[in-house]
Structure formats: structure tokens, C-alpha cells
């Protein structure tokens, strides 16, 4: 795109896509912001008067809001911790030459292709059910009191299910990063007297920094909006112990039919996502610079 003519041609060509995307984003966003300032409940139809910040006030002072914030952050943080640490270990394992490597790699990434509702139900009924689940059977075989996952450790159970889904993603990204590491660097480190642990911490981990950053950023985007796994397993309960922000918005707008309140929650969720994004970029964004 060197000449003036080609530059303006390029602008002309991309403008439909830009306009479409802009409309796609701006219309729902402005509608949500508009609704969030209305008293708009589907149970009481009729006039939807403008009420200013009232929806925000009630949403923020709702005791379940604070719980939902904490749950959201715990869920995101917990899953990130498990998937990054586990992903590095799995990537190291899958990088080893072994028999049946291709099949093992495909099997290792397959959880990622299972849709969230299905994996939620499978985990709920086949693994974590204290009577029929595998963990229950195992506990009985060992003569231990089975854990009732969704009532005793509900949030941790959700974290485990979501981690299982996202572990393959982290593994895959980190495995490709590991494979791009120059073997001569590892050999040089070996000649320099670095043992396996030193090689991992001084050579491999710094090399993986960029891939880990990518994993954290991408996963955070998706983990902030975890919904299906909660809906099919705990319905946000017991109480509000597994209600995250997404689920709270769902409760407001679709269970309590309060469109205005739900919209206010949606706007707050957008703000939260941006705060998290700013913090993440501050902390690890420099790893993305070449």
C-alpha cells in the first residue's frame, strides 16, 4: 500500500466490514446502556420510566453481588492457576518421544471439543455424584465417606470441571511453544552444567513466557463469562456460592424478568472485564513485546 490511490482503495474495501462490525457492537451496547437506566420489568408491563442510577444502586448493594464478584475472580484465578501449571507439565510430558505419540496427543486435547453443557452434565452425574459417580464408588471402595462435591465444595467442583475443559487448550499452546525452543540452547545449557531443573527454570520457562501470557489472556476472556457449567450443575447454589457475575445477570434478567437490572449488571460486567484486562496487560503484557 505504497501509493495514495492504493491506500484509499484499501480504505474503501475494508469500510463495509468496519461498518458492519461497528453496528454489531454499538447497537446492543447502546441498547443495554439505555435499558440499564429504565425501570423495565417484564412482570409489570406498561410504562418504562427513566430512573437514573437506581438499577445500578440496587444491583451493587445486593448482597449476592459481592459474592458473585468474589466467585468470578476465584473461578478465573483458580482455573488459570490449574491450567497453566498443569498445561506446562502436560506439554513437557507430551514433548517426550514415546510410543503412540500422535494418538496420545489427540486424546489429550479432546476435552476441548466437548461442549460445556455436556461436560458439566457428565461430571455432575458420572464423576461427582456421591452415590453413582466414579469418585463416590472409589471412596466407598476405600471405605471413606464420599464427598458430595456440589454441596460441600461447590465452587471448587466448578473450577475443576472448567479446568478439565481448558487444560487441553493450555497444553496445546504451550506444547507448540516448547517445540519451537532451539535444541542447541538446551544442549548449550547442558554443557554449561545446568541440570534438568535448572534447564527448565532458566531456559524453558523464560522461553514459554510469551505463550503463557497468550494462554492467560485468551482464557481470561472466556472464563469471565462461564455460564453453562454452572447452569447445568449447581444453578448458582447452594445459596449464591457458585453464582458468578454472568450467572447473577442471568438471574436478574431471565429469572426475575428485570431487564433494567440485568442491563445494569451487564454494564458492570463490561467494566469489570476491562479492569481485569488493564491489570493483566500491566502485569504480563510486556512479555508480548518481541
Partner 1 sequence: MGHIQLKGVKKNFGDVTVIPTLDLEIEDGKFVVFVGPSGCGKSTLLRLIAGLEDVTEGVVEIDGQDATGLPPAKRRLAMVFQSYALYPHMSVRKNIAFPMKMARIPQEEQEQRITEAARVLNLTDYLDRRPGQLSGGQRQRVAIGRAIVREPAAFLFDEPLSNLDAALRVGMRLEISELHKRLATTMIYVTHDQVEAMTMADKIVVLNAGVIEQVGSPLELYREPRNLFVAGFIGSPRMNLLEGSVAEKYDAHIVGIRPEHIEVSAASGDWTGTVGVSEHLGSDTFFRVNVEGFAEPVTVRADGDVDLHYGDTIHLTPDPHQLHRFDRDSARLA
Q: Taking the complex as a whole, how short is the minimal distance between the CB of residue 206 and partner 1, in angstroms?
A: 4
By CB under 8 A, name the one of 187, 270, 275, 279 that touches partner 1.
Answer: 187
| Number of residues engaging partner 1 in binding (CB under 8 A) | 18
By CB under 8 A, name the one of 15, 101, 176, 185 that touches partner 1.
Answer: 185
Map residues 144-183 to x or -, x wherever contact with partner 1 holds by CB under 8 A.
--------------------------------------x-
Residues 6 or more apart in contact with residue 258 via CB below 8 angstroms: 40, 41, 42, 252
Q: Taking the complex as a whole, how short is the minimal distance between the CB of residue 173 and partner 1, in angstroms?
A: 19
Neighbour-count burial for 220-240, b at 16+ CB within 10 Å, e otherwise:
beebbebebbbbbbbebeeeb
Q: Taking the complex as a whole, how short is the minimal distance between the CB of residue 187 and partner 1, in angstroms?
A: 5
Residue among 167, 163, 171 nearest 92 (CA): 171
Query: Nearer Cβ to partner 1, position 3 or 184?
Result: 184
Q: Compute CA 221 distance to the chain's CA centroid, rounded to the nearest angstrom.
A: 6
Q: Taking the complex as a whole, how short is the minimal distance between the CB of residue 186 and partner 1, in angstroms?
A: 8
Choose the stretch contacting partner 1; rule: CB under 8 A; options: 112-120, 137-145, 188-196, 222-230. Answer: 188-196
Query: Nearer Cβ to partner 1, position 51 or 194?
Result: 194
Q: Taking the complex as a whole, how short is the minimal distance between the CB of residue 201 and partner 1, in angstroms?
A: 12
State which of positions 190-249 bind partner 1 (CB under 8 A).
190-195, 198, 202-203, 206-207, 209
**CA distance to 27, 44, 151, 221, 277, per residue, from 246 (Å):** 20, 24, 21, 13, 17
State which of positions 120-139 bind partner 1 (CB under 8 A).
none
Q: Does 8 bind partner 1 (CB under 8 A)?
A: no
Q: Please give the grid coordinates belonging to residue 81.
A: 492457576
**Bridge partners of residue 50, in order along the sequence:** 38
Rounded Cα–Cα distance for residues 189 and 202 (Å): 9
Q: Taking the complex as a whole, how short is the minimal distance between the CB of residue 189 and partner 1, in angstroms?
A: 7
Query: Nearer Cβ to partner 1, position 137 or 210?
Result: 210
By CB under 8 A, name the one of 4, 99, 184, 197 that touches partner 1.
Answer: 184
Q: Taking the complex as a whole, how short is the minimal distance between the CB of residue 202 and partner 1, in angstroms?
A: 7
Q: Taking the complex as a whole, how short is the minimal distance between the CB of residue 178 and partner 1, in angstroms?
A: 15
State which of positions 53-112 bind partner 1 (CB under 8 A).
none
Q: Does 189 bind partner 1 (CB under 8 A)?
A: yes
Binding site for partner 1 (CB under 8 A): 182, 184-185, 187-195, 198, 202-203, 206-207, 209
Amino acid at each position: 500500500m505504497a501509493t495514495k490511490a492504493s491506500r484509499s482503495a484499501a480504505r474503501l474495501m475494508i469500510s463495509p466490514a468496519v461498518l458492519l462490525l461497528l453496528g454489531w457492537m454499538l447497537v446492543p451496547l447502546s441498547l443495554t446502556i439505555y435499558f440499564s437506566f429504565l425501570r423495565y420489568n417484564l412482570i409489570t408491563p406498561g410504562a418504562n420510566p427513566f430512573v437514573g442510577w437506581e438499577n445500578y444502586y440496587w444491583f451493587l448493594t445486593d448482597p449476592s453481588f459481592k459474592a458473585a464478584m468474589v466467585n468470578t475472580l476465584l473461578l478465573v484465578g483458580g482455573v488459570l492457576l490449574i491450567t497453566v501449571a498443569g498445561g506446562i507439565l502436560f506439554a513437557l510430558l507430551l514433548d517426550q518421544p514415546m510410543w503412540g505419540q500422535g494418538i496420545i496427543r489427540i486424546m489429550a486435547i479432546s476435552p476441548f471439543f466437548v461442549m460445556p453443557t455436556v461436560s458439566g452434565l457428565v461430571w455432575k452425574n458420572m464423576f461427582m455424584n456421591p452415590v453413582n459417580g466414579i469418585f463416590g464408588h472409589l471412596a466407598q471402595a476405600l471405605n471413606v465417606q464420599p464427598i458430595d462435591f456440589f454441596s460441600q465444595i461447590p465452587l471448587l467442583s466448578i473450577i475443576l470441571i472448567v479446568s478439565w475443559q481448558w487444560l487441553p487448550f493450555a497444553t496445546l499452546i504451550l506444547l507448540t511453544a516448547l517445540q519451537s525452543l532451539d535444541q542447541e540452547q538446551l544442549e548449550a545449557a547442558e554443557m554449561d552444567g545446568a541440570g534438568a531443573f535448572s534447564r527448565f527454570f532458566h531456559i524453558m520457562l523464560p522461553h514459554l513466557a510469551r505463550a503463557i501470557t497468550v494462554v492467560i489472556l485468551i482464557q481470561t476472556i472466556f472464563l469471565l463469562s462461564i455460564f453453562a457449567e454452572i447452569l447445568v450443575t449447581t444453578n448458582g447454589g447452594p445459596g449464591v456460592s457458585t453464582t458468578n457475575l454472568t450467572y447473577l445477570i442471568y438471574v436478574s434478567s431471565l429469572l426475575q424478568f428485570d431487564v433494567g437490572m440485568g442491563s445494569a449488571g451487564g454494564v458492570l460486567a463490561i467494566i469489570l472485564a476491562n479492569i481485569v484486562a488493564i491489570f493483566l496487560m500491566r502485569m504480563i503484557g510486556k512479555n508480548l513485546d518481541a
